[in-house]
Every structure is written in structure tokens, then in C-alpha cells.
Structure 1
């Protein structure tokens, strides 16, 4: 706090005491002034004197400390970080690395995982996930909470163990309790404690693409949605969101023509015959089709709700054909820069 800041607050104190007739009234007005100050409410980075508008410039050590602390902890810098910033050493790569490792080892780094998972993967929307009791009789709130815990613990382990960002797509392990293990068909897990398990079939469920919560978020209460899943993958995994659909596009019918129990894939293929739909769905639908072996709550299946065999092959926009999640993941791993850039 500068002498000018003190003078400002004393002026408000004097004004409040004079108008309110008491010491307490003066303190109240000074506190009100402090609490609405932009420097208190916001993290402000001021352009250095003489900087050309729009031109890049180097952040000060204190600004780096602020960014780092709010990114990793969601809170203000602590004394060791501020000390390094005030000494002007924080932009030294070795000092910066030491501070980052220290901060990641602190329990407050859980904020990074929680905030990152909530924002990037939209885990906050899990509270809105519902499962129709007819196709999904085993759905309950405990399963939804298990979904949330699985993905949060998975991200935390990746960060804590300093793993490659590509492990988010290709890991051969996950975190489950008894409820989630039963849902995934993983044997030998009992009790409510979450523990790390090696997946029995990595090709079937490895990495984020096999997390039940993310598959449920991109489904409807009664069925899967290759469109929602494909759009999610383009947007969240590849950072290439498709355009919004035209306003007059009709919803996909729940059944085929004359009420026949046709698969979602067959209905979408007819939907794509409309010229207004074909272009966007050519890129949206294929990755969604590759995930069709997971039902609306992320459980593995070989047939849909009508008994139709699942066809999880997909022809991508570049003409290549992939088979199921394993093929889709292999394709994504060929382009690590796209996924890493999105993260």
C-alpha cells in the first residue's frame, strides 16, 4: 500500500466520521472504499510506460507471481513466491521451475485440477445428467458422483506424476470404487474407497474417451448421441468447434420411419441426406460413431436399446476408416500437437 493509498482511505474515514458522527462510521466508509477498489477486486496488469498500444511486453515478476498463483492455487501468492518476485528472480527459469514444483506439491494445487476439469471438460454439468429408468435402471446419484471422482483423480495423478499430456488420451489405468468398477465390468474392487486400477482392456476404455462421465455428458437421458459426442470431441479435444446448426433443422426422430426400431446411426445417415446438414455432419458424426460401443452412461455394449448390433466403424473426413474407440484414439495420437494445443 502506497502513501497515496493511505491518504485516500484517510480522506474517506474523515468524511464518514463527519457525516456519520462517529469513529465507526468513518471506519465503515473507509472499508467500503477499500472493498470496491479495482485493485482489490481485480487482478490488474498495467502496460509499462512508453509501451506502444497492442505491442507485446514482458510481465513483471510480481505479475508472473500473480498469474502463477491464481492458475495453480486459485488464490493469492504466498510469501515465498512474493519474496522471489520482489527480488526480481522469478523470471529466472531455474527459480520459476523450483517455485512451480513447490506449488504443485502443495495441497492448494487441487484447485487447478478442480477448476481445470470443471471448465475444460464441463464436469460441472454432471449434476444435470439423468438416466431414464427404462434403458438405464441402474442409474443413480452415486454413479454420477463416481464419474466426477474418476475424472478428477485421473487428472490429478497426471499432474502429480508429471506425465505427458498425451497420457490423458492413452492411459492404461483409471480410478474406481466398487460402484464404478461394477458399471465398467472391472472385477475385484470392493468398497467406497477409490483406488487406481489397471484397465483389463486398454483398447476398450483407456484414457479420457472411456470415462463414463464424459460419455454421459454427451448423451441424452434415453440414448446415445453421436452428434453430441462428435461435437464435444471436435470442440474439447481438438479445439475445432463446428458451426452452430441452422435454426430450422428438425430434431432427430426417436425411431425410424413408421416407428421402426432403427439404430441411431441409420437415422443420422438419413438426416445427413439433407443438403443443409451434410457438410457439418460429415465431420461431427464419424467420431461420435466410433464411440457408439458405449451406451448413454458409458457402459460397454454390443447392441443398442432396440437390439441392433453396434457398428462403431467410422469414415473420417479425410477418407480414413477407424474402428471403435481404439481406432479413434490411435488417430488422435497421430496428431499430438492438436490435442496438446487445445489443452
Structure 2
């Protein structure tokens, strides 16, 4: 339950409104290829080899900067100013049967976050053309996107940060305070099988008081799924606009379908149980959220938890949880009340 509470807090985090620079949308290359895929391939980053095979072949080692577990691509082509080789985060909660979907690097030229991001952006202009650079919250960003593949730059100028925050990695490596983070998403997402297409074609949304996902979540089909979501995320080939922000069941109740930041298609036999987290008003306003615990091949988890829906009433998800559990033939746990601290 503590994990679910932290998960809900993460998806519920709301920040003040800000006008962020828009991503540069890239057209396909003349041969129809994705320009970001070409960049990944030219950097010699393996975007098609499965995580299990890569971790066996290259090993899992501490990230040289942050010391967390990572696959380190020593043979990849580094970009100018790179502080270390390209890496991909490794976590035993990531399903191993899919390709790695995200690679990252850090660049640093001088003790100036704006200059480091600007110089990295100018290097990438040779691949993608210029991108708008601007402020989003307390960060400086620039983004290129092709389909749902993406290259993003982000830096945290020290003058924009709260002075009371500590970061152990920055204490060890002070250049991190002004470094530019380069994040590459391949956009990999499984296509629907014929059975899944039939389920989605027979999608029956369920009306309830509350919302699917959060107001700030991206719309399904506009962003790449994270590695932890790959088992149930599917490319929304034909998705009615009216289905955005909805959940329900396939005809015959054979699958749970969620349309939030991704299209999730979950066979009923893959659902272990549903859980309702309930928070009473305290420092926060309280509310409730509904989650599905699903079977996974990730070696460090007994289940993959999908965030389904939420309501402002601490008991607002009880009815939906019971309704879905009855139709899917799985148990539902209505959790105890916790103060919304």
C-alpha cells in the first residue's frame, strides 16, 4: 500500500501553469525512415535488441555519474561534451523481453547551464534542424519529436532552483549542477494483436464520477511508453477521439482497456487484483485512486501496477472497483483510510 500511495502522489503532482517551448516536429526522411531512429542507429545505440540480451552481453554496472544500475554503451558514439558514455537505466522492475526504449547522456562545456544546453542543441541541429529553447518550470528545455520518438534536452540552471535541496550526485560531481541532460526515446510500442484489435473495436467505456489519469497526462498516442509500461501499452492504431481519458471493458468482458497517457489493453487473466487507495483530508484534500495489479515478467516484481482512475471523494473509487472486479472475475481490495499528509 505504501508503494501505491507513493505512485499516486507521483501522478498527482501538479505544478503551476507555465508556457513551455513546443517540440520541433520532424518529418520522415526521403526514404520514409524516422530521423530520430537514424540518429540512434548512427550513434550505435541498440534500439532493437532485447533488454535481457543486452544485459547479458554488456552487463549491468553502476552509472559512472549517478551510481545507479545501468547498461553502459562504451562502444557507442559519444556526443561533444559528453561526461560519460551513453547509458540506459537498468531496474529489475523493467520487463526484460522488450528492447530498451530510452538512452541518456550528459554534456558539459562550462559552468553555465544555458551555454551547455545551447551548445548541445547546436550540435543536434545538424541532425534535426533548430529547436525552440525555453523555460519550463525550473528547467531549460529543447525537444525534437518524430512520431512518438523523441530527443530532449534539459538543464537545471542553479539560479532557478531552491537553495535548500541537496543532491548527493552533485556533491560528488559538481559539474552536474549545470550539465545538459540528453534523453532519447525510441518510441517503441507493441502493435495490437488481432485479438486485441477485436477487443478495442468492441470497447465499452464505463461512466463514473472521477477521471482517468490526471489532467496533465499526455494523450494516448502522443508520447512513448516507459520501459515499465511495455507489457500492456499498445500503439493506438484506431482510437476514437471521444475515448481519450476513458476506461472500460471489451465486449464480453475479456479485457480491461484504459485510455490515459497510453492505450493499455489488459487481458482479464492477466489481472491479479484491483486496489483502491483512500486518503482522507489532512494537509491535502483527500481522495481515492484505483489501481490494477497485473502479471509481469519483471524479475523483481510480483505484479505490474497500472494507475486506472481517481476521484476527489475518499470513497469515490469503491463502486468502480467493485463493478470492474465483478465483471473481470478478480478480487478488489478497498484499502484503509490514510491521512492525505
TM-score range for the pair, normalised by the shorter chain length: under 0.3
Structure with max Cα Rg: 1
Higher helix proportion, which one?
A: 1
Higher strand proportion, which one?
A: 2
TM (norm. structure 1) is 0.25
TM (norm. structure 2) is 0.25
